[in-house]
Amino acid sequence: MADRARVVTALGNHGLAVTDDDVDPAEPFEIRFRRRVGRPLPGDRVELDDDSAVTRILPRDRVFGRGVRGRFHALAANLDRLLIVIAPEPAPSQALLYRYLTAARIQRIQPSIIVNKCDLAIPDQPPFSALAQLEIPVFRTHATPPCALDGLRESMSGGIHLLAGQSGVGKTSLANALIPDLAAQTRILSRTTGKGRHTTTSARLFRLPGGGWLVDTPGVWEYELWRMTPDELAQGFPECARIAADCRFRNCLHRGEPGCAVLSAVESGQLPAFLLDAWRALLDEQQRLAAS
């Protein structure tokens, strides 16, 4: 049987991998990609020949990516959770938050929200005041010593987790708090790839102390969605989708159509207005993408 490994990072026609064991402390080793097999993603499990060339990419699930000129650009595979980081400073972008939430749900990745820098005053306004109305876990942390992680580290035992959020919210500080030897792991990756070439633009997996992985994806905070149909977009809004089953029209877009159950739910207070606002904003964005 061919040797199996997990891809840590992919760099053009080669990459790094570790033996296919989430708790094996062995250092990453170089692997090569063959055009006929394809280029694996960080997080993929692969089979290797005796020359450490990838002979097969094993079936993947829950691929995280972003839109690039309207097309889906994959960044990492087999994710279990998307950890969306917001903070009181800098002021959070609600549009960015809902893009992340929508993308995670469409790809069947479990989203969680981390409110970081909780040693600062948390504004009593959206999105902070609306988090309790979302059907997702929320962690309240600060990564300045002494760190307070609100059970986040314990919740990340096993699986693959990706930290996402706009610049300045403290993702790097959180990563260092979650992975005490992060600097050492970074040096190993840089040494193995050759003085860190490509590593500033490539997703990388770092091993968590309790097992599992944390994905570092530089630049992901500049995040856009990709072209999709209204039905696909609706998968990112399960709270609205459940109510939409009662809309008069099957193809209701919740823009004021007669008999719209979603609009009625917002007017009665059953559904938070910010969810409908987010849906309409992303639907408008999809229409612009379709026209481009």
Look at the chain and report how many structural domains it folds into. 3
- The DSSP-derived string for the chain is --EEEEEEEEETTEEEEEES-TT--PPPEEEE--TTT----TT-EEEE-TTSBEEEEPP--S-EEEEETTEEEEEESS--EEEEEE-SSSPP-HHHHHHHHHHHHHTTPEEEEEE--TTSPPPSSTTGGGGGGSSS-EEE-B-SSSPB-TTHHHHTSSSEEEEE--TTSSHHHHHHHH-TTHHHHHHHHHHHHTTTTTTTTS-EEEE-TTSSEEEE-TTTTS-------HHHHHTT-HHHHHHHTTSSSTT--SSS-TT-HHHHHHHHTSS-HHHHHHHHHHHHHHHHHHH-
In this structure, are 107 and 155 located in the same domain? yes
In this structure, are 23 and 114 located in the same domain? no
Q: Do residues 156 and 141 lie in contact, with contact meaning Cβ atoms separated by under 8 Å?
A: no
| Global confidence as pTM | 0.89
Residue 19 inside a domain? The answer is yes
Residue 223 inside a domain? The answer is no
Question: Which domain does 41 fall in, by range?
Answer: 3-57
In this structure, are 70 and 211 located in the same domain? yes
Residue 81 inside a domain? The answer is yes
**What does the block give as tokens for 58?**
């094993």
Indicate whether 200 pLDDT > 50: no
CATH number at residue 236: 1.10.40.50
User: Which of 22-36, 144-158, 220-234, 259-273 is the most confident on average?
Assistant: 259-273
Residue 284 inside a domain? The answer is yes
Mean pLDDT of the chain: 89
Q: What is the pLDDT of residues 180-198, one digit of tens each?
A: 989 888 888 887 766 444 3
CATH number at residue 48: 2.40.50
In this structure, are 130 and 155 located in the same domain? yes
Q: Do residues 29 and 7 lie in contact, with contact meaning Cβ atoms separated by under 8 Å?
A: no
Q: What is the pLDDT of residues 278-291, one digit of tens each?
A: 999 999 999 999 88
**Alpha-carbon dihedral sign for residues 38, 43, 44, 49:** positive
In this structure, are 192 and 130 located in the same domain? yes
Q: What is the pLDDT of residues 39-81, one digit of tens each?
A: 999 999 999 999 999 999 999 999 999 999 899 999 999 999 9
In this structure, are 148 and 266 located in the same domain? no
Residue 36 inside a domain? The answer is yes
In this structure, are 251 and 211 located in the same domain? no
> Where a domain ends, among 13, 30, 57?
57
**Percentage with pLDDT > 70 across the chain:** 92
> Where a domain ends, among 165, 191, 216?
216
Q: What is the pLDDT of residues 137-192, one digit of tens each?
A: 999 999 888 889 999 999 998 899 999 988 889 998 999 999 998 988 888 888 77
Give the number of residues written for the chain. 292
In this structure, are 127 and 248 located in the same domain? no
In this structure, are 209 and 235 located in the same domain? no
In this structure, are 52 and 187 located in the same domain? no
Residue 221 inside a domain? The answer is no
In this structure, are 211 and 87 located in the same domain? yes
Residue 71 inside a domain? The answer is yes
